[in-house]
């Protein structure tokens, strides 16, 4: 898997000028200092060295990885990059939700690969907060895409209240009031 | 979908669907698109077919048509008649349409 | 019936706006056809042989008369004033233009309808028993659960880019009219030993190139856990389903390759970790949805209506229709009416705008303004007073909608086939028409009795040929249309995949072969009570095979 950044980085709805994480190829030496981004394979091989560095650590996970085998280690990382080799390959959505919701990962979760405007809404709802996007001028469109829908039908780790729970709350409030009045 | 036969020097035309309407269209000699196979440019060798297709693909890139391809036709009749029944149906419309309103 | 609230309405309105923007970006070239295709497909828009085709979701096959009139109107405005009802309880327009699609979707949104997730590798429209809420043999109305699933699955952020499409069906009756054993997930409601109602969860059924009958992954799932369990199955499938080969990407192949035991372990582990989370359904939330499916205001009726009994005795045509096209209702004095969209010689499942309007009017007058769509491509009036049956028959007949053939040989399921579909290898409609005409004689057709003939124009099996008592599959043989015949399939609670009888036949021979098969059955059956399928199960393939290939 390539570690090269393919496009501008969008985070919290804004373009980030410079990525703090330096990608390091598997056969390249680790820099003495600074935040680095390594592959899952390198992490597997050099856990001690990488953990010993006194700098933020990022990892790129293949989308074929069963994250149940990795999740316990997630909190060691400041950045986890998940890959969409094609926009139609949606495995990383499940990886993202598991990392956020099952393993409580709170660092940066970045989508890379074939990241398209119309997928951004799904990605954000699944827990991604950073996106390598194809073109800088698309940032505005991307920001708009995230707001495509005012409501959601299903609960995810993004904390938005599902339609079902909204209706239930409205119903309970109404009935509560009614009971109080009686 | 049936595989398209290999086209050599037999008569052939380029067909596609029009992007906006979805209609079946054929590339004409003037490099425009017609809904009638009658207007299609018929060529009869590999190179001319490839050139015709290249023109069509350029127009697909300009968002005029979708997915152009070459089909063999019987050019001894007028209008030229496709060989595969899938293409005959595309050229002539469904062999059966819903009953008219009661 | 379920009515949209402001949340639902805003969702579909925003979806229309989103699609309008996507079309605009496609037309400027900002997105390519390759990028646009999945977006239009997720809005039900296919590019077919002659034109775009728009597939409208009819959630669990339930429509109001207002919605059906709206569909007729949209068909008149943007199409050729007719529509095609499908085996997914959907409606398809065959002559749509891309430039009109956003407007058509906006008109649909006004009648609380949409085309969301009617295509693409996502969770599709959930289907169910067309007699839901009316059938005498029902344990519980499955539409409540279909609606809960509809909401959960709509724009699901995690499951919009699955390895392949995903279909869920629910039955609330032990007599399965929803074909739950041939779906990616089938849910069968039943009571456990403690008397509680829950779901048997069946996974990995499906037709297509490699048909499988689904396997039970869990015998009994409490209702409040339904969404957690579905999400667990989908999550396992999304991660481990095959993505290297289109034909091996359905969940049935995953279940087959890793085995149901391993599948169960994975799903149960996922479920155990999430079952008490945010997806657990509070009792009151279920009740809120269920309230929207409360039975209509039935009258208290007893005994047989004199008008009905009299018409049954004196009007032969009516009697024939009433015997064949009505079904026992749970409410005394009411019947369920199936409206045949299978007049012999007409394309199965098609309805003109005029017919749709007529059905809407009849539903308003006689059936609480509600219409159902069946997976066998007919319509249903779910709650008709028996006393009104003669009037309903007369009204339907005026629009060619009273063919008394439900469940008979001419009540054929057929996909659009090569007349419309870009994927097809052969035509389905003309062969269905020819076969149906062979069974036009009512005496013969009723003597033959129940016989389910199902026709698909390609291996994708939209016409469910694998589960037809007689199944017909169109194939391309050296540039000519040929048909393979299978026997002994069934989609009900005793689901089975049909057996291939032999080499494929050309159109004429295939039509003749159906006749031969039926004659063979009539010769072999023990009594007129023994259905074609029963005879086949008793005697096996050999005599049928011999009859077709020796005579041919």
Residues A141 and A173 grouped into a single domain:
no
Identify whether residues C367 and C425 lie together within a single domain.
no
Residues A85 and A163 grouped into a single domain? no
Place of tokens 């079902």: A164
Over residues C216-256, the pLDDT tens digits come to 999 999 999 999 999 999 999 999 999 999 999 999 999 99
CATH (domain of A114): 3.40.50
Q: Which chain C residues are closer than 8 Å to A174 by Cβ?
A: none
- Are residues C544 and C451 part of one domain? yes
Of C10, C273, C284, the CB nearest to A151: C10
Give yes or no: residues C514 and C538 share one domain: yes
DSSP letter, residue C551: H
B62 contacts C419? CB cut-off 8 A: no
> Within this chain, do residues C281 and C144 fall inside the same structural domain, yes or no?
yes
Range of the domain at C237: 134-288
A74 falls within a domain:
yes
Q: Does C439 touch chain B (CB under 8 A)?
A: no
Q: Closest chain B residue to C398 measured between Cα atoms?
A: B102
Q: Are residues A142 and A166 in the same domain?
A: no
Tell me whether C479 touches chain B (CB under 8 Å).
yes
Mean pLDDT over each residue of chain B, to the nearest integer: 89
Range of the domain at A176: 151-181
Residues C386 and C497 occupy one common structural domain: no
Q: How far apart are CA C417 and CA C435, in angstroms?
A: 15
- Domain positions in chain B are 12-92
Residues of A in contact with C285 (CB under 8 A): 164-165, 167-168
pLDDT range class, residue B100, cuts 50, 70, 90: very low
Please tell me whether residues A107 and A130 are part of one structural domain. Answer: yes
- Closest residue in A to C284 (Cα) is A168
C480 and C421 within one domain: yes
Same domain, residue pair A116 and A56: yes
Report whether the peptide linkage leading into residue B79 is cis, meaning its omega lies within 30 degrees of zero.
yes
pLDDT of residue C406: 98
Do A116 and A138 belong together in one domain?
yes
* Residue C229 located in a structural domain: yes
| Interchain contact, C27 vs B20, CB within 8 Å | yes
- Higher pLDDT: C522 or B84? It is C522
- Whether C146 is in a domain gets the answer yes
Residues of B near C (Cβ–Cβ under 8 Å) read 1-2, 17, 19-24, 60-63, 66-67, 83-86, 89-90, 93-102
On chain B, the residues whose CB falls within 8 A of the CB of C354 are 101-102
Among the partner residues C50, C425, C481, nearest to B94 by beta-carbon distance? C50
Indicate if A171 and A131 belong to the same structural domain: no
Q: Are residues A71 and A117 in the same domain?
A: yes
Per DSSP bridges, beta strands C62-64 and C370-373 are antiparallel
DSSP3 helix / strand / coil % (chain A, rounded to 5): 40, 20, 40
The DSSP annotation for C462-527 comes to TT-GGGSSEEEEEEEETTEEEEEEEES-B-STT-BPPEE-SS-EEHHHHHHHHHHHHHHHHHH-SS
Residue A3 in domain: no
CATH of the domain at C374: 3.90.480.20
Chain B hits for C81, Cβ within 8 Å = 101
Asked, for residue A4, whether it belongs to a domain, the answer is no
* C509 & C539 share domain: yes
Per CB-CB distance under 8 Å, the chain C contacts of B24 are 49-50
Contacts of C26 in chain B (CB under 8 A): 19, 63
A82 and A155 inside one domain: no
CA angle C299, C304, C305 (to 5 degrees): 70
- Shared domain check, A157 and A68: no
Please tell me chain B's helix, strand, coil percentages from 3-state DSSP, rounded to the nearest 5: 25, 25, 45
Instruction: Judge whether C66 lies within some domain.
Output: no
Q: Is there a single domain that holds both residue A57 and residue A139? A: yes
Q: Are B64 and B33 in contact (CB under 8 A)?
A: yes
Domain count, chain C: 4
> Could you tell me if C141 and C280 lie in one domain?
yes
CA atoms lying within 13 Å on the CB side of residue C255: 24
C30 within some domain: yes
C400 and B102 within 8 Å at the Cβ level: the answer is yes
Is the per-residue pLDDT at B55 higher than 70? yes
The number of domains in chain A is 2
pLDDT of res. C355: 98
**Which residues have C-beta within 8 Å of that of residue C194, sequence separation ≥ 6?**
none
Does residue C178 share a domain with residue C83? no
Output the pLDDT for position A12.
Answer: 80
Q: Are A25 and A42 in contact (CB under 8 A)?
A: no
Instruction: Report mean pLDDT in 10-residue bins for chain A, 182 residues.
Output: 65 84 94 95 95 94 97 96 96 98 97 92 96 80 86 96 94 69 36
Structure confidence at residue A5 (pLDDT): 57
pLDDT in tens, B8-34: 789 999 999 999 999 999 999 999 999
Which residue stretches of chain C have pLDDT < 50?
none
If asked whether residues A126 and A175 sit together in one domain, one would say no
């Amino acid at each position: 898997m390539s570690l090269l950044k393919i496009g501008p980085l969008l985070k919290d709805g804004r373009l980030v000028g410079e990525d703090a994480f330096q990608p390091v190829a598997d056969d390249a030496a680790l820099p003495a200092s600074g935040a680095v981004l390594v592959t899952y394979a390198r992490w597997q091989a050099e856990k001690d060295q990488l953990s010993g560095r006194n700098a933020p650590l990022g990892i790129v996970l293949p989308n074929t990885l069963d994250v149940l085998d990795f999740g316990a280690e997630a909190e060691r990382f400041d950045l986890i990059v998940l890959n969409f080799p094609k926009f139609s390959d949606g495995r990383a959505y499940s990886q993202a939700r598991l990392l956020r919701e099952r393993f409580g990962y709170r660092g940066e979760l970045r989508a890379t690969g074939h990241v398209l405007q119309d997928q951004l809404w799904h990605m954000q709802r699944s827990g991604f907060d950073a996106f390598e996007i194809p073109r800088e001028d698309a940032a505005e469109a991307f920001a708009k895409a995230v707001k495509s829908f005012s409501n959601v039908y299903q609960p995810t780790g993004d904390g938005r209240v599902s339609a079902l729970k909204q209706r239930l709350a409205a119903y309970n409030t109404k009935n509560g009031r009614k009971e109080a009045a009686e | 979908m049936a595989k398209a036969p290999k086209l050599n020097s037999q008569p052939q035309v380029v067909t596609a669907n029009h992007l906006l309407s979805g209609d079946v269209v054929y590339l004409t000699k003037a490099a425009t698109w017609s809904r009638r196979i009658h207007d299609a440019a018929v060529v009869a060798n590999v190179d001319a077919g490839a050139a015709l297709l290249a023109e069509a693909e350029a127009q697909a890139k300009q968002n005029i048509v979708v997915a152009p391809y070459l089909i063999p036709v019987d050019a001894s009749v007028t209008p030229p008649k496709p060989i595969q029944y899938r293409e005959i149906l595309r050229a002539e419309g469904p062999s059966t349409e819903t009953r008219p309103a009661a | 019936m379920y009515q949209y609230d402001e949340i639902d309405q805003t969702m579909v309105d925003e979806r229309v706006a989103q699609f309008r923007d996507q079309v605009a970006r496609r037309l400027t070239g900002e997105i390519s056809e390759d990028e646009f295709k999945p977006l239009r497909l997720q809005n039900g828009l296919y590019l077919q042989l002659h034109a775009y085709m728009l597939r409208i979701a009819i959630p669990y096959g339930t429509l109001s008369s207002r919605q059906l009139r709206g569909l007729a109107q949209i068909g008149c405005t943007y199409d050729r004033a007719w529509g095609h009802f499908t085996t997914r309880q959907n409606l398809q327009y065959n002559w749509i233009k891309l430039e009109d699609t956003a407007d058509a979707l906006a008109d649909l949104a006004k009648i609380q309808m949409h085309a969301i997730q009617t295509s693409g590798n996502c969770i599709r429209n959930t289907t169910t028993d067309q007699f839901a809420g009316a059938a005498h043999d029902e344990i519980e109305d499955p539409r409540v659960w279909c609606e809960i699933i509809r909401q959960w699955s709509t724009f699901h952020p995690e499951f919009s880019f699955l390895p392949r499409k995903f279909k869920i069906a629910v039955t609330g009756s032990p007599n399965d009219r929803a074909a739950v054993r041939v779906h990616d997930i089938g849910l069968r409601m039943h009571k456990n030993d403690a008397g509680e109602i829950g779901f048997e969860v069946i996974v990995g059924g499906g037709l297509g190139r490699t048909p499988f009958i689904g396997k039970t992954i869990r015998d009994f799932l409490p209702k409040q856990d339904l969404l957690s369990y579905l999400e667990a199955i989908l999550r396992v499938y999304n991660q481990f389903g095959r993505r290297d080969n289109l034909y091996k990407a359905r969940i049935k192949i995953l279940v087959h390759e890793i085995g149901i035991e391993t599948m169960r372990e994975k799903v149960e582990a996922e479920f155990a970790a999430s079952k008490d989370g945010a997806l657990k359904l509070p009792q009151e939330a279920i009740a809120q949805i269920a309230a929207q499916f409360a039975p209509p205001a039935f009258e208290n009726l007893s005994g047989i209506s004199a008008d009905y009994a009299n018409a049954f005795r004196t009007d032969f045509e009516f009697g024939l229709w009433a015997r064949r096209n009505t079904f026992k209702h749970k409410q005394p004095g009411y019947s369920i009416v199936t409206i045949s969209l299978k007049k012999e010689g007409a394309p199965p499942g098609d309805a003109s705008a005029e017919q749709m309007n007529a059905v809407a009017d009849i539903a308003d007058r006689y059936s609480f303004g509600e219409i159902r769509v069946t997976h066998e491509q007919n319509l249903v009036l779910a709650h008709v007073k028996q006393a009104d049956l003669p009037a309903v028959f007369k009204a339907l007949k005026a629009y060619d909608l009273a063919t008394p053939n439900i469940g008979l040989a001419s009540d054929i399921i057929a996909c659009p086939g090569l007349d419309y579909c870009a994927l097809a290898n052969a035509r389905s409609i003309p062969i269905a028409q020819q076969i149906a005409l062979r069974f036009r004689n009512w005496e013969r057709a009723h003597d033959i009795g129940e016989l389910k003939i199902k026709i698909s124009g390609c291996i994708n099996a939209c016409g469910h040929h694998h589960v037809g008592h007689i199944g017909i599959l169109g194939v391309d043989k050296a540039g000519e249309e040929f048909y393979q015949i299978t026997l002994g399939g069934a989609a009900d609670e005793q689901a089975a995949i049909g057996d291939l009888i032999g080499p494929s036949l050309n159109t004429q021979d295939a039509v003749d072969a159906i006749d031969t098969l039926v004659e063979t059955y009539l010769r072999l059956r023990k009594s007129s009570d023994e259905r074609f399928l029963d005879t086949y199960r008793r005697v096996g393939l050999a005599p049928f095979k011999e009859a077709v290939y020796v005579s041919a």
